[in-house]
Chain A
Amino acid sequence: MINDVTLSYLIFILPLLSFVVNGLFLCRKSDKAAAAMGISANGIAAISAIILAVHYFTSGLAPQKAILFEHEFIPFGNFLANIGCLIDPLSIMMLVVVTFISFMVNIYSVGYMRGDRATGRFFALLSLFSFSMLGLVAATNLFQMFIFWELVGVSSYLLIGFWYHKPSAVSASKQAFILTRFADSFFLLGIVLVSYVVQSFDFATLNDLTLSSFKAETIDLGLLVVSKADALILGSVLIFTGGWGKSAMFPMHIWLPNAMEGPTPVSSIIHSATMVVAGVYLVARLFPFFAICGSTLTLIMIVGAFTMVFAAVIACTQKDIKRILAYSTLSQLGYMMFALGVCQVGQTIVTTGWTASTFHIFTHAFFKCSLFLIAGSLIHQVHTNDLDAMGGLRKKMPWTYWCTLISILAISGIPPFSGFFSKDEIILAAFQGHHYVVFGLALLTSGLTTFYMFRLFFLAFHGEPRHEGVKAGHVHEDFAMTLPIVILAIPALLSGIAGKSLFAAFFVPGKIHAPQLVKLAEASWIPFAAVAIAIIALALAWFFYASPKARIAKALDESNRSGIYKTVYHKFYFDEMYYAVVRQFVIGGVARVARFIEDYIVGTLVNFSVWFIHKLGDLVRVAQGGYLPFYLGTLIVGVLLWRFLGNLPL
């Protein structure tokens, strides 16, 4: 009765059921019933996913691929678009992550959304999101992936704009939706192109291609005629563009920090742990296909590595706790993305980066989800996102404090916490691929990561309270909110150690039709270097923001940089140099350049195109003056226009 197939049906149907029941019946009746429905449906789905995973990995099936169920959806000529459930180590891992995180976030939301006027709708939408995300990760073909890809986009849109009485939330949700849709239109084009050339949507077929068989035939793309092999390479870039937008890589990253306007549980599940890794997942899923497509992987590496550094630098300057985490997510997504890219070494392929990237998806989901939930907890207590108003929360929120420490140590890559293992493998993969620039940047960014995360940690929990409510002792921990944080701290601590051997044994991207790099460089010193850098960064953060001598007010105050202070305190002249270097150069210089690029170049381009389209719209509107002779004139003009432009051989 209970076999893999029924379990997989359960995983999909329960969140959908919860969405339908909550959306149609419970959302108006009772918030409690809606919450119970959401938690129980997602909880059973999570348990089913875990049982499925345990069975898959212990029964000797792994790492084979299997399709648990598949139904015909639409026939397109001689090939079919199906809806099904694909099982392999990667999708099983994602199924577990998505259902488990969704379960945790559902519990958390009971506390976070208490007293909100539309709690029922919130739970319905959360379940819709889980369902869509599950459909995405279990997709057996590109078409199914695209459908659910759009569905997660829609649910993300609805959830970012959940508090639609806030204008900022509405504009953020619109921006996120339209920007990702913009990227998705390239994705769709890529699907049409690739499926037309290959005559299939199936991942199995796509991942089993060799370009050489397509070199001879040509295809007419309308503007130019290219060989089918080149068309496939173009298709791979177009498909990656979809992931580029969804995973918010530079310069399409701007929607993610703004999306923080949504409720924090939403940021935690959609914009850190699951949906934004869809882009990485897409590349990982189609990895053998990308591997044969020339230098697409190099493009992926460059985009990923740049986003990683860029976002980490910006994160050092932010004061809004959720935005720090958003930029941190961007930076970590950059890690995962470039780890896939570094697999290409000249003409050869090395798969260590793939394993490292999927491993990082796994560990990152837990600690980053946990960090967002913690941020939500803090915001819930002090009613602000601003680090200025926090501080001194250690005593009031002890559980949260220790869980935060675990997650932050994990993201900083300090052993034995989970992030250490996956990040170390990514850095090693960059080294093995002889991509030394990216390798250096990755090491540097891991230092930056530690710095900004501990900056957040010290400013929020240590020092004197800077908030009236905290001083007056109104702060407490909410059970429903603290429970998931504590539960998530366990995988944040252990998933690295536990996962290492599992990933090494089973996580390989499948058969690749490209020469493999045989001799791998070993570098046992890398973990030590990475940890050393992390510890130096940690010390710096402590020095600036937590040491007894640290001047937190000054560190937070951006306007006060007066010289008198320095002359009085000669003792700190050395510090001032640090301040100068860190503040003036890193934050003031590099960050300003990054900020400039963000505000002016990206912003101007976006604004210009919006302005231009609107001007054209005005033109069309003005032409519609209601003047009949003009209208009749357009008929004549039209005939002449198409006579000359219509390419008719007249």
Chain B
Amino acid sequence: MNYIVPDILLLIFPFIVIGSRLFCSTKSNIPWRIANVGCIAIFILLNFIPLANGNGVFFLSNWRVDDFGILMREVLMVSAILGIWLSKDYFEHSADGRPQLHQIAEFIGAIAFATFGGVVVVSACDLVTFFLGLEIATIPMYALTAWNKKDLIGSEAATKYILMGSVATAFELFGFSYLYGFAGSLHFTDIQSAVAAGPSPLLWIAVLFLFCGIGFKLTLFPFYTWAPDVYEGAPTPVTAVLSVSSKATAIAFLVVLVFGPLAPIQEQIAPLIALLAGTTLFVGNLGALKQSRLRRFMAYSSIAQAGYIMIALLGPATIAETAIIYYLFVYAVSNYLAFFVFAIIGHHREEIFASLKGLSKQNPSIAIALAISMFSLAGIPPLAGFFGKFHLFFSGASTGHYAIVAFAVLNNVIALYYYIQLIKSAWVDEPDGHLTPIRLTRRQRSVVILLSIAVVVLGFLPFLSNNIFSGFTF
């Protein structure tokens, strides 16, 4: 029974946080405290669920909790907790030339709903639940992007996002309807046996549209076009949540699909996956080369990262799932570290490359944290990012897709180039006297230190993550 407790808590949690606001003043810190306690409690509860329980535990016949699902829940909760911590300062004063945010309780509620959407995706056993989960995860994101009502750029970004998102949802629904038409059932196990019995054109149309639809959320080429504008327009904490939670949900969607209903035809769709991965990481890397705004830069960087993650989908189920989960943890930690650094800078300066000038002299601790996160994202050993990438490539290589792995490894050289540009701004350029000095609050300092240590330690002591690997039998 305790398998489902965290899910129920997560569902009730946003109502409690939002409800608590009815009983206290606008300035009160109580909703924020409740949110912290609640999120961390759910995360700890998740860690008590034993792994390695085979096919998973079912509730009401179509709510499945399996190893992959539990670990994905942990990824999503980590992302939610860090997102909430990151957002707190934005409700206290304005940043990056944007007005201050309001209504923190609802904000946290929206993040929690989006997280719950991700949980639904990894627990679903039929198409309807699956689709609902994806929508629950997406709709709060539209609202979060436009959270700042007075900010025109944010509203524009949200408009683009919602319009393109609707088209993508239409693709998804179209794909699902064909899948249903093909299999005659909504349930995954029935679909899987129908697929195994023999594909037909209906199935291929469904696959094409499902991949194109999820390509929007996962920012695959050429469906990524919304990402740079939305990442740029949304408030920074929302951008961070988008780049981690939303991406994690989308990749979980693909994992559930490719290793569930579509498992019998994984080999036939491998070329499509490889192409999507290759073009996405190449275009993402190219786009990141010449950016001057930090969040836009992170948008392209995360597009490229999505391409790298896709490579793992080529491998056998257990290796791929392990690689993806581990990479998502690493990616979440490194990415949030970068966003925390950018947020600290954004509270005092504009979020552009030029604001990083002379950081190593004025605030060496932030500069070190920035370097750690960039080197990790670039995949330099022995930081966590390297091992994550190694697992992804290993997964792709273990089914013999050497061409795409080789392409990805070579692309890493381009990636190194632009990540180093950022480090160069922070470490090499002379300080600019006109920039406002940067001060850290205690929360910012402790979170940055915590995340930096996490990135280094995950890399130096990879056996700490053995619980991720132990759940799977290689």
Contact = CB atoms under 8 A, between A and B. Distances in A.
A624 B225 contact: yes
Contacts of B412: 181, 185
A617 B290 contact: yes
A650 B204 contact: yes
Contacts of A634: 222-223, 225
B381 A631 contact: no
A500 interface: no
Interface string B406-429: 100110111011001000100110
A650 B276 contact: no
Contacts of B404: 222
Given A174-B420, A178-B413, A219-B400, A164 B201 contact: no
Contacts of A647: 271-272, 275
A78 B394 CA distance: 13
B212 interface: yes
A635 B397 contact: no
Contacts of A73: 462-463
Given A150-B380, A189-B409, A77 B400 contact: no
Interface string A611-647: 0011011111101101010111011011101110111
A76 B323 CA distance: 11
B257 interface: no
Contacts of B380: 150, 154
A164 to B, nearest CB: 5
Given A150-B381, A628-B163, A642 B275 contact: yes
B contacts with A: majority SS: helix
A75 B300 CA distance: 32
Contacts of B208: 639, 642-643, 646, 648, 650
A217 interface: no
Contacts of B229: 624, 626
Given A185-B412, A638-B223, 14 more contacts: A74-B387, A77-B398, A170-B428, A177-B416, A192-B402, A196-B398, A222-B400, A619-B286, A634-B225, A635-B171, A635-B212, A646-B272, A648-B268, A649-B268
Interface string B454-467: 00000000110000
Give the contact-size bracket for chain B: 35 or more
Contact of A192 (B207, B222, B405): B405
Contact of B462 (A74, A161, A618): A74
Contacts of B271: 646-647
Contacts of A192: 393-394, 397, 402, 405
A620 B275 contact: no
A278 interface: no
Contacts of B167: 632, 635
A499 B458 CA distance: 43
A494 interface: no
Contact of A164 (B275, B286, B427, B469): B427
B290 A642 contact: no
B413 A185 contact: yes
A218 B430 CA distance: 56
Q: Which 7 A-B pairs have the closest CB atoms?
A: A617-B289, A222-B403, A647-B271, A646-B272, A220-B400, A620-B287, A77-B474
Contacts of A641: 222
Given A188-B409, A626-B229, A178 B416 contact: yes
Contacts of B300: 620
18 contacts: A72-B463, A74-B463, A75-B474, A150-B381, A151-B382, A154-B375, A196-B398, A222-B402, A223-B402, A628-B164, A632-B163, A634-B223, A635-B168, A638-B222, A639-B171, A646-B211, A646-B275, A648-B204
Interface string A152-181: 001000000100110000100010011001
B98 interface: no
B394 A635 contact: no
Interface in B135-177: 159-160, 163-164, 167-168, 171
A572 interface: no
A645 B201 CA distance: 16
Q: Which label, helix, strand, loop or mixed, suits the secondary structure of the A interface?
A: helix
A621 B299 CA distance: 12
Contacts of A618: 290
Name the residue among A185, A220, A648 with the largest chain B CB count within 10 angstroms. Answer: A648
Nearest to B430: A165
Contacts of A196: 397-398
A634 B228 CA distance: 14
B400 A221 contact: yes
B275 A645 contact: yes
Given A74-B462, A631-B226, A641-B222, A620 B283 contact: yes
A181 B462 CA distance: 23
B400 to A, nearest CB: 4
B198 to A, nearest CB: 12
A621 B287 contact: yes
Given A188-B409, A637-B222, A617 B397 contact: no
B403 A223 contact: yes
B327 to A, nearest CB: 14
A630 B223 CA distance: 11
Contacts of A339: none
Contact of B401 (A222, A621, A630): A222
Contacts of A630: 225
A639 B286 contact: no
Contacts of B430: 165
B69 interface: no
A631 B164 contact: yes
A79 to B, nearest CB: 10
Given A624-B229, A642-B272, A221 B289 contact: no
A645 B406 CA distance: 20
B209 interface: yes
A193 interface: yes
A648 B269 contact: yes
Contact of B413 (A182, A193, A628): A182
